[in-house]
């Protein structure tokens, strides 16, 4: 009982540190964010940080891996469901929207500061990202093969698709001006059907 309470206190303080650190690392970059800045934001002395985190690298790794795991769990759940091609694309877009809206600071740290990870952390991070891209590349390649997606290089389609969603990570950090449902609807249309306005008839196989 006492242990449980202590753990709760311990975890929430650590989470508090990670949350403040994410905001500071996002705005100042990993190398430009000092442990003094982070301690000041949390409201304790620098040396006290080390009761909750092992090192500055530990902070970065925790932020990057928690976001990475959410992406992978979300994608695995979508791809193993029985949805058609367009529904899966819509679900993946929804995943990116909801993660961007939920993790305003740490999402950008995940995107831009992972390169400061070292040794085992760096290679583990690269493995996770490679897994995510490999799963999605398989999805694109299968559906091009099956005739559901336009003939194209699966790699170019993958890179363009993933890249096209990155503005979401910046969009929500000010204040969400538009509803997430509206954004999803427009994104699905633009990415699935294209920017150019034309009449369309689906091929009946």
Which chain residues interact with a second copy by CB under 8 A? 27-32, 85-86, 89, 112-113, 115-116, 147-153, 156-157, 159-167, 171, 178, 182-183, 186-187, 189-203
Give the one entry of DNA, a second copy, none that residue 37 binds, where binding means its C-beta sits below a cut-off of 5 to 8 angstroms depending on kind: DNA
Contacts of 21 (CB under 8 A, 6+ apart): 33, 38, 41, 59, 63
CA angle 134, 102, 53 (to 5 degrees): 85
Give the one entry of a second copy, DNA, none that residue 22 binds, where binding means its C-beta sits below a cut-off of 5 to 8 angstroms depending on kind: none
Interaction between residue 47 and DNA (CB under 7 A): yes
Pick 10 or 193: Cβ nearer a second copy:
193
Contact range with DNA by CB under 7 A, out of 42-50, 103-111, 153-161, 192-200: 42-50
Pick 62 or 108: Cβ nearer a second copy:
108
Q: Identify the CA nearest to 114 among candidates 98, 95, 127.
A: 127
Interaction between residue 46 and DNA (CB under 7 A): yes
Give the one entry of DNA, a second copy, none that residue 102 binds, where binding means its C-beta sits below a cut-off of 5 to 8 angstroms depending on kind: none
Judged by CB under 7 A, the residue of 56, 88, 96, 116 near DNA is 56
CA angle 73, 77, 82 (to 5 degrees): 170
Q: Helices 85-102 and 119-145: crossing angle, nearest 10°?
A: 150
Q: How far is the CB of 7 from DNA (least distance, A)?
A: 13
Cα 69 from Cα 22, distance rounded (Å)? 17
Judged by CB under 7 A, the residue of 15, 45, 155, 181 near DNA is 45
DSSP state of 152: S
What is the separation of C-alpha 61 from the centre of its chain, rounded to a whole number of angstroms?
Answer: 14
Cα 170 from Cα 186, distance rounded (Å)? 17
Residues that bind DNA (CB under 7 A): 13, 33-37, 44-48, 50-51, 55-57
């Amino acid at each position: 009982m006492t242990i449980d309470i202590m753990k709760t206190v311990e975890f929430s303080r650590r989470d508090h540190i990670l949350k403040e650190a994410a905001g500071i690392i996002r705005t100042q970059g990993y190398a430009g964010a000092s442990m003094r800045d982070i301690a000041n934001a949390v409201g304790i002395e620098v040396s006290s940080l080390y009761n909750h985190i092992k090192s500055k690298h530990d902070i970065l790794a925790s932020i990057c891996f928690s976001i990475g795991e959410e992406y992978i769990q979300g994608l695995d759940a979508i791809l193993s469901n029985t949805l058609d091609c367009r529904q899966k694309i819509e679900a993946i877009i929804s995943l990116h929207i909801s993660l961007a809206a939920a993790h305003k600071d740490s999402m950008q740290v995940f995107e831009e500061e992972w390169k400061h990870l070292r040794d085992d952390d760096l290679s583990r991070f690269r493995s996770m990202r490679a897994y995510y891209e490999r799963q999605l590349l398989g999805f694109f390649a299968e559906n091009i093969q099956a005739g559901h997606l336009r003939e194209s290089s699966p790699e170019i389609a993958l890179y363009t698709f993933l890249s096209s969603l990155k503005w979401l990570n910046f969009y929500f950090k000010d204040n969400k001006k538009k509803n997430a449902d509206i954004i999803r609807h427009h994104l699905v249309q633009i990415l699935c059907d294209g920017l150019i306005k034309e009449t369309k008839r689906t091929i009946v196989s």
